[in-house]
Amino acid sequence: MTRTAKVGTAFATFAAAASFLISLAGSSLKSTVQVFFLNIADGFDVSRGSLAIATTLFAVVTAVTSSVIGHLADRIGAIPVLAIGTALNGIVLLLSAMATELWMFVFTYGVVGAVAVTMLSFVPLGVLADQLFQGRNSGLFYALLTNGAAVGFMVLVPLWTYLDNTMSWNKVLFAIGVVFLVVLLPLSLALVRLSISRQPARVAPRVSFWSATATTFRHPQMRALVLAFIGCGTTMAFIDVHFFPHLHDHGISDSVGASAVAVLGALEIIGALAAGRLCDLGWTRATLIGAYAMRATAMVMLLFVNSPATVIAFGAVFGVSYLATVVATTVWVTRALPPGVRGTALGVLWAVHMLAVAATSQVGAILADLQHSYTVTIGASAVLTAAAVVLVAVQPSPDDRVANAAPPLEEARPNVEV
């Protein structure tokens, strides 16, 4: 291996490790609101439905900005996007902690926080994996990068649950904000400086935002993947917003819920890595079908929450599929679309995903207030994920396209600077 190749490998390894850490911390804003949801509602003396406006707005703003942030990652590189997102997350956490009125919290978390979290989300990480590893085992590397959120489930959610008994939610958010600005921001800026010092051999083709978006929607497989991803969005929304309240309604303690989420996080790591490896081996379609089938099964299990064992079992089944759908879909996108379009396409995908999150967040909360039950929301999510299985199954495998066109794709693949 030449010295240049060794330096490139070292940089890619450092960038992946730093991005993993930033991704882990990036789950803080959402996970704290998830755990402290009822406490925050009580603190502002509002109903679940009123506070859910913040989570719904968060999803809507994420949907609106995802494709723009994906396009930005295509144009300036994923690493600068992560650095901007790190700074913005720290500011949002501090402002959310100091909010004295509900509208302040709703605006800070629902609008600015949505942009900040999206900059540390699966969209720029997907672009980063493609830029760093140039298609060589990109599925596995993307799984590694996105597992920061999974480790966050395992480590941070139990921590927030413990702190719930000793600290107010305001103090927890404030402390996390300080960590972002004092520790993670300097790390992200160092990564930017290192990336700027590297000179690319070639540059990705410049494609306008509207042209990239049109290319995405014209692609028949992309349309199917987007529709299937709605099921992913509805189920993720339930975990992010309604899972703990649902357990509370059935007399299940928060400690059991935290244990289920920890199990979910552990198996999320295994499921993501397995999905990434299977995609690299040419099993992208089969992996995505299996992931959606497991997700539908998990949602059906959630209808029968009657003991701690059932809750833990749900966490296990859901966990295996949690990131597998994301990894397999992302790999599919990077194999089906050309460079310069992929980031925008991933953003479009997550835009629709977050619209599904917004609908599930708000409608689920309203139905819970009216019916004192999440049964309808859970049932609808199970149906949508079952439909996703069918949508994916009828598509031609993206791996066939790669196998049939490997030489041209390799020759055309740019060495994109990050």
- Structural domains in the chain, CATH included, are 22-190+216-412 (1.20.1250.20)
Helices (H), 238-374: 243-249, 254-280, 284-301, 308-322, 324-336, 342-371
Q: Quick one: pLDDT at residue 85?
A: 93
Q: Decide if 314 contacts 250 (C-beta within 8 A).
A: no
Task: Give me the half-sphere count of Cα atoms (radius 13 Å) on the Cβ side of residue 325.
Answer: 30
Residue ranges of the chain whose pLDDT lies below 70: 1-9, 133-138, 149-150, 153, 197-205, 400-418
Q: Decide if 77 contacts 416 (C-beta within 8 A).
A: yes
Q: Decide if 161 contacts 70 (C-beta within 8 A).
A: no
d(C-alpha 317, C-alpha 312), whole Å? 9
210 token code pair: 């509207």
Closest of 137, 156, 400, 78 to residue 273, by C-alpha: 137
Q: Decide if 102 contacts 47 (C-beta within 8 A).
A: no
- Predicted structure pTM score: 0.74
Q: Quick one: pLDDT at residue 6?
A: 53
d(C-alpha 109, C-alpha 235), whole Å? 21
Q: Decide if 26 contacts 89 (C-beta within 8 A).
A: yes
Closest of 107, 142, 154 to residue 16, by C-alpha: 142
Q: Decide if 90 contacts 26 (C-beta within 8 A).
A: no
42 token code pair: 């009580």
| pLDDT, tens only, 230-273 | 999 999 888 878 888 888 887 788 788 888 888 887 888 899 89
Q: Quick one: pLDDT at residue 408?
A: 35
